[in-house]
């Protein structure tokens, strides 16, 4: 009798450390809430993942090929929604993990979207504007069959912006034969973008800082804040907090950071950056590294740069009372458990940085209606939705004793599971 050895089935291509971290969060909350095993299994992997080759004619006449991705994790609640990033570290696992986080984020905020994400592996800083445009347009043509205002709506992400979205919208519109503003969000206001969209993520982070301070019982009239990443998210959040009376004591960018325990004049710093291109060297401030900045004493720490900035090697040095995640996944899994046990309140990314996708939803709706709102109306609606989500998460924390990340995830997964139960499994 011949003995046949069982075939060892390899894991999915998306199973990188980044993706497995996101998957473990789902597994943890699924166990805690007693999620139906069949629903749990369906949520553990993306619904659809597309990998494309993107050939581009460079300025010197040669042709280079890039690798692009678009992943849709789940579309039970509506069309896919998620950014497109240009970065040399983009890979299928990262994009799949971020698509999963977008699913939870949209469900938590009560938006009629599923989670998606995309990206191109490239070094955008080494590409001319013309090369970036050709790269974007060819990528759009390669993924055009799975995007659309009722299928999947891209938005800006790392190293992409409203100009990138304009190129995508134009390429899509040319291919279908008419203008389709709602195929993307985060585009320029002049071609259907929403007022308040560019500042929305940072504004939402600042709003969560305020709500977290109230929840934590910080009564100081000028709570101290440290912001890592003075870009579109961190810069806007810092300015919003400064204008609201918070004392921003440290900020940083990719080059390094600055620290002044008496507070930094954010409007003056923004003027300085527009001239010098970096925060280092600003008057009356001590230069610090990004690593040092994370361990400075403060009431609130806002990591708004890259993921996994707070981890097992530096988590014991964190001195903040509250962490509000402006970036995606800046606090690693081990650090999340440790800091929670230490009594530090962490407002998770799927809540804290959801302002961008929320106003993207507003932009999508406005484009479909061809009726646009004032910036005050956009900001008012944003605060209503962010406030409701904050209240629900903090209430869940008090009710269950879960750390805030798991409380937010429980709310999101519960809503998604209910949608899947009602829709059933076809066939």
Catalytic residue among 117, 187, 247, 420: 117
* Active site (annotated) includes residue 420: no
Give the residue from 184, 76, 39, 106 showing the smallest Cα distance to 409.
Answer: 106
> Residue 369 in 3-state DSSP?
helix
Say how far apart CA 202 and CA 329 lie, in whole Å.
16
Task: State the CB neighbour count (10 A cutoff) for residue 203.
Answer: 25
Residue 322 forms beta bridges with which residues?
300, 345
One DSSP character per residue, 203-270 reads HHHHHHHHHHHHHHT---SS-EEEEE--STTHHHHHHHHHHTT-EEEEEEETTEEEE-TT---HHHHH
Residue with tokens 């993207």: 360
Say how far apart CA 38 and CA 97 lie, in whole Å.
20
One DSSP character per residue, 118-166 reads EEEES-GGGS-HHHHHHHHHHHHHHHGGG-BTTTEEEEE-TT--HHHHH
Say how far apart CA 419 and CA 427 lie, in whole Å.
17
Say how far apart CA 100 and CA 117 lie, in whole Å.
9
Residue with tokens 């923004």: 270
The residues that are catalytic are 117
């Amino acid at each position: 009798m011949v003995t046949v050895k069982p075939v060892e089935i390899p894991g999915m291509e998306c199973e990188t450390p980044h993706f497995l971290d996101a998957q473990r969060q789902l597994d943890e909350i699924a166990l805690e809430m007693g999620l139906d095993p069949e629903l749990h299994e369906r949520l553990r992997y993306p619904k659809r993942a597309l990998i494309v080759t993107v050939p581009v004619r460079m300025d010197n006449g040669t042709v280079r090929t890039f690798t692009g991705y678009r992943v849709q994790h789940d579309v039970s609640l509506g069309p896919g929604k998620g950014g497109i990033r240009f970065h040399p570290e983009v890979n299928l696992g990262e994009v799949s993990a971020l698509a999963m986080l977008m699913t939870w984020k949209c469900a938590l905020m009560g938006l009629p979207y599923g989670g998606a994400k995309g990206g191109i592996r490239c070094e955008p800083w080494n590409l001319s504007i013309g090369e970036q445009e050709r790269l974007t347009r060819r990528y759009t043509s390669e993924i055009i069959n799975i995007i659309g205002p009722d299928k999947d709506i891209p938005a800006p992400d790392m190293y992409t912006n409203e100009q990138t979205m304009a190129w995508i919208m134009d390429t899509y519109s040319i291919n279908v034969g008419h203008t389709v503003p709602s195929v993307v969000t985060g585009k320029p206001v002049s071609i259907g973008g929403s007022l308040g969209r560019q500042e929305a993520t940072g504004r939402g982070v600042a709003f969560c800082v305020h709500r977290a301070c109230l929840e934590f019982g910080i009564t100081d009239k000028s709570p101290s804040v440290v912001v890592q990443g003075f870009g579109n998210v961190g810069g806007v959040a810092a300015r919003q907090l400064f204008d609201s009376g918070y004392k921003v004591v440290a900020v940083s960018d990719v080059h390094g950071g600055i620290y002044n325990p008496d507070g930094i004049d954010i409007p003056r710093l923004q003027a300085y950056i527009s001239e010098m291109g970096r925060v280092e060297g600003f008057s009356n401030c001590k230069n610090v590294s990004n690593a040092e900045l994370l361990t400075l004493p403060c009431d609130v720490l806002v990591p708004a740069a890259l993921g996994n900035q707070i981890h097992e090697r530096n988590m014991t040095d964190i001195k903040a009372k509250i962490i509000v995640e402006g970036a995606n996944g800046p606090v690693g899994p081990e650090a999340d458990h440790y800091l929670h046990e230490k009594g530090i309140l962490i407002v998770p990314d799927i809540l804290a940085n959801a302002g961008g996708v929320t106003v993207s939803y507003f932009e999508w709706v406005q484009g479909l209606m061809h009726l646009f709102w004032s910036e005050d109306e956009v900001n008012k609606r944003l605060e209503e939705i962010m406030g409701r989500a904050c209240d629900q998460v903090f209430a869940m924390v008090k009710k269950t004793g879960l750390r805030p990340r798991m409380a937010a995830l429980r709310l999101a997964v519960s809503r998604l599971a209910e949608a899947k139960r009602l829709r059933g499994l076809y066939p």
